[in-house]
Amino acid sequence: MTDGGRERFQRVLAWLGNERALCLNAPMQRAYLAVEIGGTKLQLATGRADGTILHRWRASVDPAQGADGIRQRIAQWLPEALASASIAAIGVGFGGPVDWRTGRIARSHQIPGWSGFPIGEWLRDLTRLPVAVDNDANVAALGEATLGIGRGAATLFYTTLGSGVGGGFIIDGRIYHGATPGESEIGHVRLEKGGTIVEQRCSGWAVDRRIREANDLHPAGPLARLSEGVATGQARFLASALDEEDPLASAILSEAADNLAFALSHVVHLLHPERLVLGGGLALLGEPLRLAVAEALKPYLMEVFQPGPPIFLSALKEDVVPVGALRLAEAATPAT
């Protein structure tokens, strides 16, 4: 942001500060700002700690513009977002390892320009509000555990299947944090000693690639017909191809589910959570994916752990990170 742009932005925020002070005199529930920064999606949402979304701003991420392009878009949206509600704090779910204590990004595996960036400090400077930052899978796990399918469970492990594969572990309603940066990185668990990791087999991009390869070999099949002319995002056609009983779609689903189940078997043996939850774009495939992973998991578990923790689909779906970020922001708000 240029010096002139920053000055204009600060003038807008000064006006918003006066408006916010007036709003605080009115009896209303606190609102928070959620920021989701992923490999393919940027989202801001204002809402309440009960998960209610009030307003939303969403855009696709252009990797060619790097982190600077994402920051410019956030700065563009912030004045409108802050004017839309009386915001008490900001919660950020970032797609990559972070130092949650300092709000500094360790790395993005999809978008260049994030390494070492102090996003917490940057947002505090722009908004003069408390900011909490965490990995997006951790934030999603928090949302799912407190307001989604995990309510009532003491322990929950959440796996997000999106542009990457991430994990979050919740104990008694709190995010488990190991040594910084990062924890629960299930996407980087190796499937074999040669170096193949879960993300290379189970992410949305990995399944897209597998479908493209299969379509080249079977150009007359239902999956090839459904995804014809589509450059990316072929995984979204798996459900329709499965409805047509396409054996190729079934094979691709089984392959991804088996690899994911093998990775989750390590989670079960090390942590033995009460519930496993699947989220992210690939999980929108729904029950076929959940059932395939549940069936594939059993043979990988020691006998005493059979049949293993129940596996659920995310109840919050595409709102899981924003809802979790609202909860994160609530925890960062000073007591009054």
**pLDDT tens digits, 170-228:** 999 999 999 988 889 999 999 999 899 999 999 999 999 999 999 999 999 999 999 99
152-315 has the same fold as 3-142+319-332? yes
Phi, psi of 245 (to 5 degrees): 60, 40
pLDDT at 292 over 80: yes
- pLDDT for res 16: 45
Q: Would you state the pLDDT for residue 43?
A: 96
Give the model's confidence band at 2: pLDDT under 50 very low, under 70 low, under 90 confident, else very high.
Answer: low
In this prediction, residue 24 carries a pLDDT of: 38
pLDDT of residue 1: 56
Which residues lie across from 53 on neighbouring strands? 47
pLDDT tens per residue, range 260-291? 999 999 999 999 999 999 999 999 999 999 99
pLDDT of 39: 87
Average pLDDT, the chain: 91
Residue 212 confidence (pLDDT)? 95
Q: Is the pLDDT of residue 336 over 80?
A: no
| Angle 306-312-313 from CA coordinates, rounded to 5° | 150
Model pLDDT, residue 185? 93
Residue 12 confidence (pLDDT) above 70: no
Confidence at residue 228, expressed as pLDDT on a 0 to 100 scale: 93
Contact in structure between 251 and 215 (CB atoms under 8 Å): no
CATH number of 152-315: 3.30.420.40
Tell how strand 41-47 and strand 31-37 pair up.
Answer: antiparallel
Give the chain's radius of gyration (CA, Å): 21
Percent of the chain with pLDDT over 70: 91
For 113-162, the pLDDT digits (tens) are: 999 999 999 999 999 999 999 999 999 999 999 999 999 999 999 999 99
- Predicted pLDDT of residue 163: 86
pTM for the predicted model, two decimal places: 0.89
- On whether the CB atoms of residues 246 and 222 are closer than 8 A, the answer is yes
Give me the residue spans of the domains in the chain: 3-142+319-332, 152-315
pLDDT score at 335: 74
C-alpha distances out from residue 33 to 131, 227, 234, 329, Å: 9, 37, 32, 7
CATH superfamily to which 3-142+319-332 belongs: ATPase, nucleotide binding domain (3.30.420.40)
pLDDT, mean of residues 59-84: 95
Kindly state the percentage of the chain with pLDDT values over 90. Answer: 85
Q: Where are the beta strands (DSSP E) in 82-201?
A: 87-94, 98-99, 104-105, 131-135, 155-161, 165-171, 174-175
pLDDT band at residue 11 under the 50/70/90 scheme? low
User: Distance between CA 72 and CA 64 in Å, rounded?
Assistant: 14
